[in-house]
Structure 1
Amino acid sequence: MITVEEKIARRQRAIEGRPFGPGSKTEHEGKTMTGAQAIIACLEAEGVDTIFGYPGGQAIKIYDALYDSKKIRHVLARHEQGATHMADGYARATGKVGVVLVTSGPGATNTVTGIATAYMDSVPMVVITGQVTRGVIGTDAFQESDIVGITMPIVKHSFLLQSTDELTKTFREAFYIASTGRPGPVLIDIPSDLSGSEMVFHYPDSVDIPSYRPTYKGNAKQVKQAAELICQAERPLIMAGGGIVASHACPELVALAERMQIPVVTTLMGKAAIPCSNPLNLGPVGMHGSKYANMAVTESDLIIACGARFSDRVTGKVDEFAPHAKIIHIDIDPAEIGKIINPNVPIVGDVKVVLSAINERLEKMGATSVCEKWRDEVFSWRERWPFYTSDFADYPDKIAPEVLLETLSDKLDPHASIVTTEVGQHQMWALQNIHREHARTFISSGGLGTMGFGFPAAIGAKIGCPDEQVVCIAGDGSFQMNSQEMATAKINDVPVKVLIIDNRALGMVHQWQHLFYNDRFSFTELADNPDFVKLADAYGWRARRITKPEEVNDALDEMLASDEPYLLDVVIPAAQTVYPMVAPGAPIDDIIGALDVTLGGVRVTEKGFGEAGRPRVKPSHEGVDE
């Protein structure tokens, strides 16, 4: 198991431009070898212990060299997209760089969705693609594709290797770029003739890229301004994003929140930036955030945005977002500052370093909280508008996904488990009801919203953190995107668990069609799903299907106790909706479907939705699929 301290140390070594491994001067230094052997030596020098991939003609020399490595485990996926998501899940769980190795043409293009997923969520990854020989590049040779050109908008940087003279320098820079600043995927395209060329191996001990100088330390004047605004605010709120997780800034975030008693809302990527058990944690904000978190944003007079990018799913209607608040925006990527929301105090820098500086400034000022009245008001909202209550159910005789996932959450050890999700309704139910205490233990595709991500990501997370219980929350639609990776889990003895919330529909789009398109369910119904239990059996997995609420406890216990891959198919009504919800384009205080305990636990609607039509607050029971 990789400790939090080691994850932080890896990040620091990346910032300093040093290899992750024991040192760049490996036993390969000064030896004559082929380019393919040098590639493997580079990976070993970076401390890579696992790569995910799929072989092919233009990568065959690299795979031949990999055959002799005693330090690197190769995980053979069943599809290159699956391999890329595995590397992504591995990177998110461990804090290391995920590594992918595939061949040219279709092998390379199959990684595109996985690369884009990592890029949108700032995940460090190095993707190595085989390429046709240099002499035929541009001639439409067999299995040639311009993967550098294809992926240009979705990588942090890319390299097309032209000579073995630049091979080791390229790998050193690729890992450095992927893991420093705002992390992201880097692609290295390698013509196959270079893999067979001889060279002398020398691995750079450090990196010097004049055009790439990430800013880690925030401007002192802006830090001072931020501290002063925090002291003056009467209704402050922290919005924690994925940057908190990436920079290991959770202790600094909690220190600020607790010193000044500031409530914290989190984005999807920022879940567990502050422990769910901390009373200051208001949880998710935005389209499927809680009503109380969204109200806190709307009524706040100061928002401290930490490593968050103000995505449309968080802000809703931008010109009505936080109308009374001044904004402090901390982000390592200067391109994010002012892109969506113009801040009063912009601070470019690593959020861990910047928050530490703000905390030190507040300590010198002797700052104390002045927002007790605000905090108590927000906490009262939390009591009034909970996500869910045990005495409320849309379908009393059916399995409620909220109850299912809260029960699962209670059964998981918060200190030794990781939850991944696919994308859709189940993702939002998991966001709302799975409680996490540590960063990097809730893994989900946020920016791209990639169906098919969660299951292979769970395999990667389990391989990276073998001592953790890893559970993927999936929908029946999303799971079928990459279900072939069941073979990968079984053959590699990776005992991941998959819980399918099975409504025989593409649930989120189905819900939108119900709310805004007059129940015109255009191609979102999956009545012809396979029998998932039989599918699991075909791959050698253990599996079970449940349909009744009284089966939930025993089924979850059986799943979690299994030392083999296990699939649990949980049948829920097709018409089940995930609430609360903010309609697309509406302000985030325009909330439908929130429970109000002062009204007896009924769902309420605050405003109309114009041309989109009014939502059905209590879903119809007609046509419920048993």
Structure 2
Amino acid sequence: MGTVRVTAAQAVVLYLGNQYSVSDGQRRRLVPGMLGIFGHGNVAGLGQALDEYSDSLTYYQGRNEQSMVHLAVGYAKAMRRTATLAVTASIGPGSTNMVTGAALATINRLPVLLFPSDTYATRRQGVVLQQLETPGAPEVTVNDAFRPVSRFFDRITRPEQLLTALPAAMRVLTNPAETGAVVISLPQDVQSMAFDFPEEFFAEKDWPIRRRTPNPDEVADVARLLAEARRPLVIAGGGVIYSGATAELEALAGEFGLPVVETFGGKGAVQAREWWQLGGLGLEGNPASNTLAAEADLVLHVGTRLTDFATGSQSLFANPHVRFASINVTEQDAVKQGATAIVADAKLAVRALADHARDAGAVARPEWAERARALAADWAPQRQQALSGSPRDPMTQGQLIGVLQEEARSGDTVVAAAGGPPGDLLKVWDATDGRHCHLEFGFSCMGYELPASIGVRLAHPDGEVLAFIGDGTFLMQPTELATAVQEGLKITVVISENHGFQVIRRLQMLASGNDFGNEFRRRAGEPGALAGGYVDLDLAAIARGLGATAFTAATPDEVRAALRKARDHAGPVVVVAETAPQENLPPGGVWWDVAPAEVSQDPAVQEKRRAYESAREAQRWYA
């Protein structure tokens, strides 16, 4: 074998162009493209390489570095972690803008490949633009901020280091137990340095996404718990979806009469519309799911991290005899709640559990099924009332969701990530029969939804892709609309314009009894608080200015008409729908540990603190 003399940046592009993932016999490009914004740190390096070798890696031009990472993560999630996109940014603010996106990816176990540019490795230039000067650690740069939010971090100071760094990066990207943000920091000068790379380094390579097989003893232990339980419950997380375990979970639930509830990441894990499909769990779940969780004597959590939203800050599982079991490819998540764990791929483990449970004598419990049916029947009219309601001006966010639900077809995907929309969708959205619900609430990252919708569209050319966001989120990062226009991508952004961060105002009222700084109001009065009228904003004009088609809608019928026009439109569409501030869906009946001030002169705050201390007594520790 001979050698190929290319720069470090050229080597990155050529290498990525020949990497493939293999999952269940399906082979696809692991990193088919790279997003980037160029500056002095990468324009002569990765910028030049992407230009010269454009046939190896498609380049996408972004508008905001954080948004580019969100776009790549949305693509990776839509591809069920079998492929992702790379992102490059220039030195300093461009690179550190990507830290938030890296955190979202790592926390939610989603693969993304980042190439933040870095200051000169040679140091001959002296201090350069955006260089951090730390007297006691001259090797530290701002890119070290990526370390705590990355699953893999490496800084390349010589081109030949790519020979080990890039394969290590591919391994982490394709490992379901380890995946997250993979960060390769590239100093500006190193990107343009040349090296004689072995030809075989650029040969096509397959990276298997392995399914970890379950240990029979672990499966047998969980099967015995299932056979003994009188009130078993399954919590389905995102791992069910990523592993393709929907059919296996549905078979398990149907045979053994197991009610199934879903986390944010697990929304849509069950596609069958059956009595045991209860919907969302936890703080933003529905009352039926949460009541069953409180009564369950066995909780089997599958493919979930079990954050405080799902557990009600460890107050939800109230049965004094409750036990926990789990299936998870990551041991750290599997043992949460002191669970009897099966550390394995969800698809293989659920299938094995069904066989072992049968042998262990597990059977459906008719009285538990009747309890689940009764609770679901109680919730159904409340849900319907919240989605339809009575004619009012302006409409509620629930009514807006009701129209989105009516118009949703099989193959459509609705995307939400922060504020009120993901909680409302978890509570009321029917994600069965292929009406996908892409919720990324693990990092509660405002600004994710719109760019992630572009990523979903790149992954899935068919069906509608709708970003459902509040006006606060839209104002944070609307700029990737221009990217959708540039690429001719069909997405629909539905903005619930309720004049502020209303979900945080709701929390604020619960925690302190006072409204402060969350609505979009003018400064007025003495001593000049933000307590005047609502700020008049033209969000549709912003959307049009970025190249999108925009509609405003004041009634459910107008929303319906706009969505139908959007379905027939070839490019990005924004629908701005005014909704009633301070109008919420029915609560899920779950407590959340947000502590009011322990000391305050305000009687309302004092009362909130007393109520909090009383409610905190419901928290439990599970060993």
Aligned with 2:190 (options 178, 194, 197): 194
Structure 2 counterpart of 1:501: 496
Task: Look up the match of 1:41.
Answer: 14
TM-superposed deviation, 1:168? 3.4
Q: CA deviation at 1:215?
A: 8.8
Superposition deviation, residue 430 in structure 1: 2.3
1:240-294 deviation line (CA, Å, top 9, x unaligned)? 1112122222222222212212110000000111116243211110001011100
Q: Report the 3-state secondary structure (helix = DSSP H, G, I; strand = E; otherwise coil) of the residue aligned with 1:237.
A: strand
Q: For 1:186-209, what per-residue CA distance to the aligned partner results, in whole angstroms no more than 9, with x for missing partners?
A: 100112333222322432889999
- State the partner residue of 1:132: 119
1:549 to 552, 556, 560: 556
**Which one of 48, 58, 81 corresponds to residue 64 of structure 1?**
48
In 2, distance between residues paired with 1:138 and 1:580? 60
For residues 351 and 140 of structure 1, the distance between their equivalents in structure 2, rounded to whole angstroms, comes to 51
Q: Does 1:314 align with 2:310?
A: yes
CA RMSD of aligned residues (A): 2.9
Once the two structures are superposed, the pairs formed by residues 449-488 of structure 1 within 5 Å of their partners are 449-488=444-483
Deviation at 1:439, TM superposition (A): 8.1
Q: Is 1:513 paired with 2:504?
A: no
* Partner of residue 377, structure 1: 371
Q: Is the 8 A contact 1:35 1:199 kept in 2?
A: no
Tell me which amino acid in the other structure corresponds to 2:158.
S
Q: Quick one: distance in 1 between partners of 2:204 and 2:332?
A: 27
User: 1:250/1:148 Cα in 2 relative to 1: closer, same or farther (>3 Å)?
Assistant: farther
Partner Cα distance (2:125, 2:593) in 1: 48
What is residue 610 of structure 2 aligned with on the other side?
A: 611
Structure 1 portions without partners, runs of 5+: 1-24, 588-607, 614-626
Instruction: Return the offset for 1:481.
Output: 1.1
CA distance in 2, matches of 1:440, 1:611: 43
C-alpha distance in structure 2 between counterparts of 1:584 and 1:110, whole Å: 34
Amino acid at match of 2:258: I
Instruction: Tell me how many residue pairs correspond in the alignment.
Output: 560
Larger CA deviation: 499-508 vs 370-379: 370-379
The equivalent of 1:273 in structure 2 is 269
Q: Displacement of 1:219 after TM fit? A: 2.8
- What amino acid maps onto 2:91 in structure 1? S
Residues 152-551 of structure 1: pairs in structure 2 closer than 5 A = 152-182=147-177, 183-196=179-192, 197-201=194-198, 202-203=200-201, 216-275=212-271, 277-318=273-314, 321-323=317-319, 324-339=321-336, 341-343=337-339, 345-363=340-358, 365=359, 367=361, 369-386=363-380, 387-390=382-385, 393=389, 396-414=392-410, 416-437=411-432, 441-525=436-520, 527-528=534-535, 530-551=537-558
- Measure, in 1, the Cα distance between the counterparts of 2:558 and 2:316: 45
Equivalent residue number for residue 600 of structure 1: none
Contact (CA 8 Å) 2:330, 2:343: kept in 1 or not? Answer: yes
How far apart, CA to CA, are the structure 2 residues paired with 1:372 and 1:171? 54
Aligned to 1:50: 33
Q: Distance in 2 between matches of 1:581 and 1:297?
A: 12
What do the CA deviations read for 1:303-334 (whole angstroms, capped 9, x no partner)?
11101122100111415524332110222222
User: 1-side partners of 2:145 and 2:35: how far apart?
Assistant: 21
2:575 to 559, 565, 568: 568
Contact 1:470/1:496, CA 8 A, preserved across alignment: yes
Is 1:106 aligned with 2:104? no
Contact 1:271/1:439 (8 A) holds in 2: no
The residue number in structure 1 matching 2:74 is: 89
The answer to whether the 8 A contact 1:430-1:473 is kept is no
Q: How many Å separate the matches in 2 of 1:300 and 1:204?
A: 54
In structure 2, do the counterparts of structure 1 residues 472 and 457 end up closer, same or farther at CA, with 3 Å as the change threshold? Answer: same
Deviates more, 1:41-50 or 1:467-476: 41-50
Structure 2 unaligned runs (5+)? 20-28, 133-140, 522-533, 595-606, 613-623
Q: What is the letter of the counterpart of residue 56 of structure 1? A: G
Report the secondary structure of 2:338's partner residue: coil
Question: Do 2:104 and 2:445's aligned partners in 1 also have CA atoms closer than 8 Å?
Answer: yes
Report % sequence identity.
25
The 8 Å contact of residues 510 and 608 in structure 2, kept in 1 or not, is answered as: no
Is contact 1:288-1:579 (8 Å) kept? no
Q: Distance in 1 between matches of 2:417 and 2:342?
A: 33
> Is the 1:173–1:207 Cα contact (8 Å) retained in structure 2?
no
Distance in 2 separating the partners of 1:317 and 1:185: 27
Aligned residue for 2:526?
Answer: none
| TM-score relative to the length of structure 1 | 0.83
User: Residue type matched to 1:36 in 2?
Assistant: A
The 1-side partners of 2:312 and 2:376 are apart by 21
Amino acid at match of 1:399: M
- Decide whether the 8 Å contact of 1:397 with 1:549 is kept in 2: no
